[in-house]
A and B are shown apart, each in its own frame.
Chain A
Amino acid sequence: MDVLTLSRLQFAVTSMFHFIFVPLTLGLSVFVAMVETRYVLSGNEMYKRMAKFWGKLFLINFALGVVTGITLEFQFGMNWAEYSRYVGDIFGAPLAIEATVAFFMESVFIGVWAFGWNKVGRRFHAFSIWMVALATNLSGLWILLANGWMQHPVGYVLRNGRAEMVDFLALITNPFGLLKFGHQIVSGYTVAAFFVMGISAYHLLKARNREFFKASFTMAAGFALFATIMVAVVGDFHAADVAKTQPAKFAAMEAVWNTCNNAPMHLIAFPDAKNECNLVSALPVPGLLSFLAFHDSNAEIRGITSFPKDERPPVLPVFLSFRLMVGLGTFFIVVAAAAFFLAKNGLLEKYPLFLKLLVLIIPLPYIANQLGWIVSELGRQPWIVYGLMKTSDAVSKSLEMSQVVGSLAGFTLLYGLLGFVDIYLLVKFARKGPEETHVGATGAFGN
């Protein structure tokens, strides 16, 4: 282990941990906003209770998302100083804009929303949660524009020994970043929709607060159906863009070793990196891969072997993560469609096994989100900025081994502890249900 490996490991730990909370924040803020809007429009108190119940879970999750986000901003300077210096002219801007445009808005309106139930009118209160949702999604946009630039650098020149920005418009219209943003927000909505459906299913199984959780479930099922389909649609465009801009990553995602035209998609495959071939490849659909990538079944797909050895991403983890992510995504569409159908027709409680399934699969969308990031970030290696700067050149020069060992151990311990407490609290309040959070001094925030 060296400073580089440990720094990479640390970045993986801190960003993946941060990313346990972000997707739910993205989706649940929108969900709570929709619920509260329904309350404002209908005047039905149940929707107010729904906003409060799901909002409490939102806040517990949000706290960890916020505090772990600061780590990432600091870490670029702490562990990746050479990177920060080389690309700061262009990469720093979206981060600073995110803070100025999104974080202030988010932090102000979350305060108004959480503490303002009796201070502002109900229309304005609903407006504040919409502002939180907007700001959260906006901050995702800026982060993914920054990340999109690392994946597909645009609008820059190399000057004065670094990358300098020459076209801000190119940066903010970078298709890579925009597609990734699109794919990510609907993935976040999927996490939230399955989170709400799963917890609602738990209470429906216990036959508690049936009306409340049926209404929650039905809204979440509609949200899930929309989100899961959008994940696949945008994901398809995103993958096609990756095929164009990052052929090495695309080849690894699909385990294509040799360049070929009319590339088939193997429904079953398993790569063997050592021998640069696939151990197993069966059930080919001719031309499908070429068609998916370039919308032309004769198009050429570059194989991994066409890249120099030191410019290839690790094939096996990228391939497996991608396959598993796509598999889960497809599964989510089916489940969401079934959930929506059953909920709309009032048949939910007739299928307790299906409800149990929904409780059990709450973690799966989280896993799919993490897998997506593994594809994206590991698939980009060995580049930190695709084609421009290698990860190995990006690490801070002044770091000592002991510092990174200490910080990595510290992060792992602290995050492990906080993650444990957070999950404990989420489960506690999710199981409690809305009644307990609503009655007097024994309430969750009470005393």
Chain B
Amino acid sequence: MDLHIVWFVLWGVLWAVYFMLDGFVLGAGMLHRVLGRNDSDRRVIINSFGPVWDGNEVWLITAGGATFAAFPTTYALMFSYLYTPLLLLLFALIVRGVSFEFRSKEEGAAWRGCWDWAIVLSSFIPALLFGVAFGNIFSGLPMDQAGYHGSLLALLNPYGIVSGLLFVMLFAEHGALYVAVKSTGDLSHRAENLAKTLWVPLLLVAVLFLGYTNFATKLYDNYLKAPVFLVVPLLAVGALVGVRMFLGAGNALSAFAASCVTILGVVGTGVIGLFPNLIPSSLDALYSLTIYNSSSSEYTLKIMTTVAFIFVPIVILYKIWVYRLFRERVTAEAVAADHEAY
């Protein structure tokens, strides 16, 4: 078995699962002020992901760590080339994490309003930046033997912006559905309606993204070579349509599941299109970072594969268990009565 390919797949899976899980926290965070009309609503929203958000973010840390361990050259160049957007991302993630913890620690309206806006911004910024970063990775970074020739503004090219919007819309939809599933009464209804409203622009951005990808990237080449993989983008599109159908049928839980599949499918579509590159060079394919020229040694890959094959299933098991443990809907009464809630 080619361990490079194993780690490429794992790399893609880690990112996809991260976006699926943290996507709804980012989305719910973005919509926090819109959906939460009063303090009680807002607390319900935060507590709906309270027990799990930290675990969701660990997928990002693991994706970063796995890139470092399996593809150190990619890790080094990707993180130093994308310095400024990553920095903004970091700041946002830092603020988001403490906002959840700090918000409930004081009663004052000013204090809570301040952290509310911190939550909104620090959820929106990562969603946008992840999209912009991945869009630019899909289309390739301007790098050659002399290094990187881009800048922050160059990252904000039209395709990067479309990708950013796609991520924002995907996560907003995902977050609205999550709140619909995890809350009750009026808040749940409003979230469901918002998900219906957001679905239309999401579809438009998704279509624009798929079309634009044909011109801005070489992602589709792999699908022409091996059409069997078309099943992944088709799944993404099918699941996106499914979201609306389930919503129409009043089944928010199924809509949320379909939204999960959509996100996995979108990321999968990009990752399959990249293979065997991790970051293509937009200047000359010779300088693309591939799973072969940027990887760790066979020995390290072997060690890491052993670790991954033992621990990833265990992780998945207790993640499923914890989601089951906290599967109940969060109510305003429960939050008000629970001293441990956010």
Binding site for B on A (CB under 8 A): 52, 59-60, 63-64, 66-71, 73-74, 76-79, 81-85, 87-93, 95-101, 103-105, 107-108, 110-112, 114-120, 159-160, 164-166, 168, 396-399, 403, 406-407, 410, 414, 418, 421-422, 425, 428-429, 437-438, 441, 443-447
Complex CA distance for A165 and B307, rounded to whole angstroms: 15
Contact B68 A92 (CB under 8 A): yes
Q: What total count of A-B pairs have CB within 8 Å? A: 239
Name, among A68, A90, A92, A429, the residue most crowded by chain B CB atoms within 10 Å (CB to CB).
Answer: A92
B61: CB under 8 A from chain A? yes
Contact B308 A100 (CB under 8 A): yes
Which of A64, A85, A103, A398 meets B72, CB within 8 Å?
A85
Which of B96, B296, B322, B342 meets A88, CB within 8 Å?
B296
Known A-B contacts A70-B93, A101-B311, A398-B81; A88 and B75 likewise in contact (beta carbons under 8 Å):
yes
Comparing B52-60, B191-199, B252-260, B266-274, the segment that makes contact with chain A is: B52-60
Which of A60, A87, A118, A414 meets B105, CB within 8 Å?
A60
Contact A398 B86 (CB under 8 A): no
Sorting the interface of chain B by its residue count into under 10, 10 to 19, 20 to 34 or 35 or more gives: 35 or more
Contact B62 A398 (CB under 8 A): no
Looking at chain A's contact residues, the main secondary structure is helix
Known A-B contacts A100-B62, A164-B299, A445-B340; A82 and B54 likewise in contact (beta carbons under 8 Å):
no
Instruction: Look across to chain B and name the residue whose beta carbon is closest to the beta carbon of A166.
Output: B299
Known A-B contacts A111-B55, A407-B87; A68 and B94 likewise in contact (beta carbons under 8 Å):
yes
B235: CB under 8 A from chain A? no
Complex CA distance for A69 and B62, rounded to whole angstroms: 13
B148: CB under 8 A from chain A? yes
Q: Which residues of B contact A90 (CB under 8 A)?
A: 300
Known A-B contacts A78-B80, A108-B318; A84 and B72 likewise in contact (beta carbons under 8 Å):
yes
Q: How many whole Å from A77's CB to the nearest CB in chain B?
A: 3
Instruction: Look across to chain B and name the residue whose beta carbon is closest to the beta carbon of A443.
Output: B339
Contact A66 B339 (CB under 8 A): no
Which of A67, A74, A414 meets B86, CB within 8 Å?
A74
Q: How many whole Å from A8's CB to the nearest CB in chain B?
A: 16
B83: CB under 8 A from chain A? yes
A-B contact pairs, 8 of them (CB 8 A): A70-B90, A71-B90, A81-B77, A99-B61, A107-B55, A116-B325, A165-B296, A396-B80
Q: How many whole Å from B35's CB to the nearest CB in chain A?
A: 19
Residues of chain B from 277 to 321 with CB closer than 8 A to chain A in the complex: 296-297, 299-300, 303-304, 307-308, 311-312, 315, 318-319
B336: CB under 8 A from chain A? yes
Name, among A88, A418, A445, the residue most crowded by chain B CB atoms within 10 Å (CB to CB).
Answer: A88
Q: Which residues of A contact B98 (CB under 8 A)?
A: 63-64, 67, 418, 421-422
Contact A67 B97 (CB under 8 A): yes
Contact A79 B75 (CB under 8 A): no
Q: How many whole Å from A428's CB to the nearest CB in chain B?
A: 8
B187: CB under 8 A from chain A? no
B184: CB under 8 A from chain A? no
Q: How many whole Å from B14's CB to the nearest CB in chain A?
A: 10
Instruction: Look across to chain A and name the residue whose beta carbon is closest to the beta carbon of B47.
Output: A115
B341: CB under 8 A from chain A? yes
Known A-B contacts A398-B80, A421-B102; A119 and B325 likewise in contact (beta carbons under 8 Å):
yes
Contact with A along B230-271 (1 / 0, CB 8 A): 000000000000000000000000000000000000000000
Which of A403, A438, A445 meets B338, CB within 8 Å?
A445
Complex CA distance for A397 and B77, rounded to whole angstroms: 10
B66: CB under 8 A from chain A? yes
Q: Which residues of B contact A120 (CB under 8 A)?
A: 325
Contact A414 B91 (CB under 8 A): yes
Q: Which residues of B contact A77 (CB under 8 A)?
A: 64, 68, 75-76, 78-80
Q: Which residues of A contact B303 (CB under 8 A)?
A: 93, 165, 168
Contact A70 B300 (CB under 8 A): no
